[in-house]
Amino acid sequence: MRSTGVEFYSEGDRIAAIWRTPETPGPYRAIVQGPGWLGLKDAKLYVRYHEALVAAGFAVLVFDYRGFGDSEGDRGILSPARQLQDLVNAVSYLTTRDDVVADAIGVFGTGGTGGGNAVLLADVDPRVKAAVSQVPVADGTDWLHRMREEHAWLAFLASLEEDRRLRVASGQGRLVHPREEIMVPTPERRATNIKADVDDRIPSAIPLSCAEEILAYRPIDAANRLRTPLLVIGVEGDATTPTDHAEALYAAAKGPKQLIMQRHTTHYAAYDRYWEQTTPLIVDWLDRYVRPSDVVVRTTTSPEQGEAIELMEAPK
């Protein structure tokens, strides 16, 4: 696998990315990935997924969102809306490359909003042929609520209201730690070292107002419209990204879909425990659906069954 630093622009800000390709020349089918919650492009956690995809002939573009890591932009602004713009612009960047099959692009996302963002991108960008959403968040309000006991949730809502008043009165709100005061880490998260290589490089203070966007975060609404092939991966009894969020995204999607549920494990342990089982399924899903479409066949057998779409490649 070859790894090269590349750059593109998103809404005027320079985005730093890693471009991972097979040793053989392209053009390649391509997979785009925006990091998960507070993640960075060079996290060791992602490398083995990329190695498996590259071994199957894909190229992978993984990047730092605006304001994070090596990318430009307002530092420490945690904005799912901006992240979605960055993902759309990353797809546009891929279509400019001579070594990419512009008609064969997919998305892989893992880790809370990383998984949710994959669903959002597949919904808004028809250039994306298939999506993989691993341990996703489907509803931001429900996610933040279920991290807290009810008294803590009510106190959190009160702090947001107080911050709104503070911002209109003074022009500036409170700064908080995103992993301690917006997300509430589980005991497993505090004990794990699976993200230790990037933990000391995430912002330690962001505006509390960023929580407003997390509360409005609704990949489940996108899934209700989605006809793009979607693979969802969850963990049974997940204390970090609730299991029923993965199940809800799968149930809502209207196109080809698959749900993988990892049992007898936990959110962070699952990355290692079921690596050998889930990774081939991820690769197979993307290999099946991320292909050029020279001929598109649309078939409706009955109004109740809806429309089936078959994509066909012509010999080169």
Residue 53: give its domain's CATH number: 3.40.50.1820
Residue 255 belongs to domain spanning = 2-137+218-312
233 within domain boundaries: yes
**What is the per-residue pLDDT across 73-107, written as a single tens digit (0 to 9) for each?**
998 899 999 999 999 999 999 999 999 999 999 99
Q: How far is CA 91 from CA 6, 105, 138, 243, 294, in A?
A: 14, 8, 22, 29, 20
Buried b (16+ CB within 10 A) or exposed e, 178-208: bbebbbbebeebeebebbeebeeebbeebbb
301 within domain boundaries: yes
Q: What is the pLDDT of residue 179?
A: 84
Spatial distance between the Cα atoms of 24 and 127, rounded to a whole number of angstroms: 25
Q: What is the pLDDT of residue 212?
A: 96
169 within domain boundaries: no
182 within domain boundaries: no
Q: Which helix (H) or strand (E) holds 297?
A: strand 295-300
184 within domain boundaries: no
Q: Are 143 and 246 in contact (CB under 8 A)?
A: no
167 within domain boundaries: no
**What is the per-residue pLDDT across 178-215, written as a single tens digit (0 to 9) for each?**
888 888 877 767 776 655 666 677 788 899 999 999 99
Read off the pLDDT band of 295 (50, 70, 90). Answer: confident
**What is the per-residue pLDDT across 112-167, written as a single tens digit (0 to 9) for each?**
999 999 999 999 999 999 999 999 999 999 999 999 999 999 999 999 999 999 99
Number of domains in the chain: 1
Give pTM, 2 decimals: 0.92
Q: Are 32 and 58 in contact (CB under 8 A)?
A: no
296 within domain boundaries: yes
20 within domain boundaries: yes
